[in-house]
């Protein structure tokens, strides 16, 4: 297999750090070997290195090549699947959900400050109601959060107040979470990787893992090398199973696509997103958007329900952006790209141990900027001997789709179509 460079995207075009890490040749040893150089793998590598472990990180392409370097950059509080966690784990689940809510944000903030990572971190995130009835759920959600003591960071915005917040008539209100926000994800991921390397983590790019094993003497085989480690982590949304039956049927791949306009003028920016909020709508098959630091509109969503990449992303996404913001009809699209979201049926990230000394965590259902950092910490804690949160997360029962390798995309396409119909009704 040939390692791939970054796809053309706004993020790759504005990456601060161009370091190329070497390809692994021969055999190396470490306390922990991590497969995958996205947020999951990089965040775990940095956490473990900060705790004094020797770490080898193996990335098939480039650091942040996958979803981590392509996403909407929305740093959203909480994780997906919170209701399922509470349902399955009761009061322990409710506490876990509260404890995790902003933990990913804290980790990101601490690292941005400590390692001086320039990644355009900005605050303010909003979920907007795509249907009037979605406001009922949002009001109840905000009320619950106020009971949890989060009242100073979260507020309902009723429809009549929307013009203060966003320059669109597409939505029926929403709520703002001022503790959440947005980042340049590739710069964050590469910045964390550079921090990990500065602490001694050996990072290899262009190094595809072809096989691995846990047990008493874990090992990882790459195309041209091998790692012998005390512990192996399959870190992130990696669709290969490496012969591990425990990974079967957990994640389904779904495409999501983003366009970036040319930089907008100050008055155009003020007319669309005056508070610089990152925004997601309340549909299951949702649209999301935000302004980049250089004032481009980054507008994302799902382009089609067949689960095949569209031939021309801009031809589908530009009209959608103009539907929400007619004032942007003449804004030129300068970048268009897509990536793969890993959907888990109950939406809860899948975390566990496949055999002694072999861990995995993956499947954030489009909600991974903060959740990757939380799950990386939970797995790192377990490796270092603190297992409370890991035990809870690994107790969650997941619905596995037995024939997902064969029919996964068709099943997902059908599921998406169903949700799209529901969103429209
Ligand atoms: C278009 C898009 C928009 C999104 N928007 C948001 C958003 O706004 N907010 C949010 O919270 N989440 C968002 N997400 C989801 C979020 O990006 C992901 O959940 C998160 O980045 C997953 O990180 P990861 O490290 O687990 O996986 P990835 O970033 O995909 O990393 C996995 C890495 O493993 C490598 N790899 C694969 N196989 C092998 C192998 N055999 N050997 C070695 N390496 C291998 C890949 O090359 C890849 O770099 C979005 C996702 C997409 C695609």
pLDDT per residue of the chain (425 residues) written in tens, 0 to 9: 689 999 999 999 999 999 999 999 999 999 999 999 999 999 999 999 999 999 999 999 999 999 999 999 999 999 999 999 999 999 999 999 999 999 999 999 999 999 999 999 999 999 999 999 999 999 999 999 999 888 889 999 999 999 999 999 999 999 999 999 999 999 999 999 999 999 999 999 999 999 999 999 999 999 999 999 999 999 999 999 999 999 999 998 999 999 999 999 999 999 999 999 999 999 988 999 999 999 999 999 986 656 678 899 999 999 999 999 999 999 999 999 999 999 999 999 999 999 999 999 999 999 999 999 999 999 999 999 999 999 999 999 998 887 666 665 666 666 665 555 555 55
Question: Given this model, what pLDDT does residue 151 score?
Answer: 83
DSSP secondary structure of 115-166:
TT--S--EEEEEEE-SSTTHHHHHHHHHHHHHHTT-TTTEEEEEGGGHHHH-
Hey, whose CA ends up nearest to atom 51 of ligand 1? 71
Q: Are the C-beta atoms of residues 21 and 15 closer than 8 Å to each other?
A: no
Question: Ligand 1 pocket: which residues have CB below 6 Å?
Answer: 35-41, 58-61, 65-68, 70-74, 76, 208-209, 236-238, 240, 256, 258, 288, 300, 339-341, 362, 364, 366-369, 372
Q: Are the C-beta atoms of residues 206 and 51 closer than 8 Å to each other?
A: no
Question: Given this model, what pLDDT does residue 230 score?
Answer: 98
Q: Which of 304, 297, 348 is nearest to 325 (CA)?
A: 297
Is there a domain that residue 261 lies in?
Answer: no
User: For residue 384, what is the DSSP state?
Assistant: T
Measured on CA atoms in the order 352, 353, 354, 360, is the torsion positive or negative?
positive
Q: Which of 171, 102, 181, 91 is nearest to 133 (CA)?
A: 171
C-alpha–C-alpha distance, residues 172 and 309, integer Å: 31
Which residues in 265-286 are b (16+ Cβ under 10 Å) and which e?
eeebbebbbeeebbbbbbbebb
- pTM confidence score: 0.96
Distance 39 CA to ligand 1 centre (A): 7
Hey, whose CA ends up nearest to atom 24 of ligand 1? 236
Hey, whose CA ends up nearest to atom 39 of ligand 1? 60
Q: Are the C-beta atoms of residues 126 and 279 closer than 8 Å to each other?
A: yes
Is there a domain that residue 330 lies in?
Answer: no
Distance 257 CA to ligand 1 centre (A): 13
Question: Given this model, what pLDDT does residue 284 score?
Answer: 82
Hey, whose CA ends up nearest to atom 3 of ligand 1? 71
Task: Give the atom of ligand 1 at the shortest distance from the alpha carbon of 4.
Answer: 47
Task: Give the atom of ligand 1 at the shortest distance from the alpha carbon of 64.
Answer: 49
Is there a domain that residue 234 lies in?
Answer: yes
Q: Which of 66, 82, 185, 286 to mutate to test the pocket of ligand 1 (most atoms within 8 A of CB)?
A: 66
Q: Which of 36, 75, 310 to mutate to test the pocket of ligand 1 (most atoms within 8 A of CB)?
A: 36
Hey, whose CA ends up nearest to atom 21 of ligand 1? 68
User: For residue 23, what is the DSSP state?
Assistant: P
Range of the domain at 225: 10-70+186-250+346-402
C-alpha–C-alpha distance, residues 8 and 107, integer Å: 29
Distance 370 CA to ligand 1 centre (A): 12
Question: Given this model, what pLDDT does residue 330 score?
Answer: 97
Rg for the chain, CA atoms, rounded: 21
CATH number of the CATH domain containing 33: 3.50.50.60
Q: Are the C-beta atoms of residues 55 and 198 closer than 8 Å to each other?
A: no
Q: Which of 180, 168, 171, 181 is nearest to 293 (CA)?
A: 181
C-alpha–C-alpha distance, residues 313 and 332, integer Å: 14
Question: Given this model, what pLDDT does residue 418 score?
Answer: 56
Is there a domain that residue 43 lies in?
Answer: yes
Question: Given this model, what pLDDT does residue 7 score?
Answer: 97
Which residues in 387-418 are b (16+ Cβ under 10 Å) and which e?
eebbebbbebebeebeebeeebbebbbebbee
C-alpha–C-alpha distance, residues 151 and 110, integer Å: 23
Is there a domain that residue 204 lies in?
Answer: yes
Q: What's the structural domain count of the chain?
A: 1
Hey, whose CA ends up nearest to atom 31 of ligand 1? 38
Hey, whose CA ends up nearest to atom 48 of ligand 1? 66
Question: Given this model, what pLDDT does residue 2 score?
Answer: 84
Residue 27: HSE in the Cβ half-sphere, 13 Å Cα cutoff: 4
Distance 63 CA to ligand 1 centre (A): 10
Distance 140 CA to ligand 1 centre (A): 31
Distance 293 CA to ligand 1 centre (A): 22
Q: Are the C-beta atoms of residues 298 and 14 closer than 8 Å to each other?
A: no
Is there a domain that residue 194 lies in?
Answer: yes
**Measured between alpha carbons, how far apart are the two ends of the chain, in Å?**
45
Is there a domain that residue 178 lies in?
Answer: no
Q: Are the C-beta atoms of residues 257 and 317 closer than 8 Å to each other?
A: yes
Q: Which of 334, 361, 333, 337 is nearest to 349 (CA)?
A: 361
Q: Which of 119, 236, 253 to mutate to test the pocket of ligand 1 (most atoms within 8 A of CB)?
A: 236
Question: Given this model, what pLDDT does residue 375 score?
Answer: 98
Is there a domain that residue 337 lies in?
Answer: no
């Amino acid at each position: 297999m040939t390692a791939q460079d970054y796809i053309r995207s706004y993020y790759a075009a504005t990456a601060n750090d161009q370091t190329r890490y070497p390809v692994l040749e021969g055999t190396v040893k470490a306390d922990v070997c991590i497969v995958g150089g996205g947020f999951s793998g990089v965040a775990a590598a940095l956490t473990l290195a900060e705790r004094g472990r020797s770490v080898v990180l193996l990335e098939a392409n480039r650091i942040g090549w996958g979803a981590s370097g392509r996403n909407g950059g929305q740093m959203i509080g909480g994780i997906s699947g919170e209701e399922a966690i509470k349902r399955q784990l009761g009061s322990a689940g409710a506490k876990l959900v509260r404890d995790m809510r902003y933990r990913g944000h804290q980790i990101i903030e601490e690292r941005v400050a400590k390692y001086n990572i320039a990644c355009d971190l900005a605050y303010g995130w909003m979920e907007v109601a795509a249907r009037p009835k979605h406001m009922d759920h949002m009001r109840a959600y905000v009320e619950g959060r106020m009971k949890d003591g989060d009242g100073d960071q979260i507020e309902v915005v009723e429809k009549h107040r929307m013009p203060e917040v966003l320059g669109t008539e597409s939505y029926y209100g929403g709520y703002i979470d001022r503790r959440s926000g947005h980042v340049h994800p590739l710069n964050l991921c590469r910045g964390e990787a550079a921090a990990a390397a500065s602490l001694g983590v050996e990072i290899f790019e262009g190094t595809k893992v072809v096989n691995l094993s846990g047990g008493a003497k874990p090992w990882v085989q790459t195309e041209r090398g091998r790692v012998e480690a005390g512990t192996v982590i399959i870190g992130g949304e990696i669709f290969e199973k490496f012969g591990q039956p425990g990974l079967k049927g957990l994640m389904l791949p779904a495409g999501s696509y983003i366009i970036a306009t040319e930089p907008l003028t100050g008055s155009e920016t003020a007319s669309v997103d005056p508070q610089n909020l990152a925004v997601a709508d309340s549909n299951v098959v949702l649209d999301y958007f935000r302004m980049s630091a250089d004032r481009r509109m980054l507008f994302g969503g799902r382009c089609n329900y067949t689960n095949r990449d569209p031939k021309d992303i801009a031809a589908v996404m530009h009209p959608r952006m103009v539907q929400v913001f007619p004032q942007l009809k003449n804004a030129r699209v300068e970048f268009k790209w897509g990536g793969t979201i890993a959907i888990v049926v109950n939406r809860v990230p899948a975390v566990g141990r496949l055999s002694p000394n072999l861990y995995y965590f993956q499947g954030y259902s489009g909600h991974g900027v903060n959740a990757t950092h939380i799950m990386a910490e939970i797995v790192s804690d377990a490796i270092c001997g603190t297992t409370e949160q890991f035990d809870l997360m690994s107790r969650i029962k997941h619905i596995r789709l037995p024939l997902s390798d064969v029919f996964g995309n068709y099943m997902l396409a059908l599921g998406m179509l169903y949700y799209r119909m529901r969103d429209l009704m």
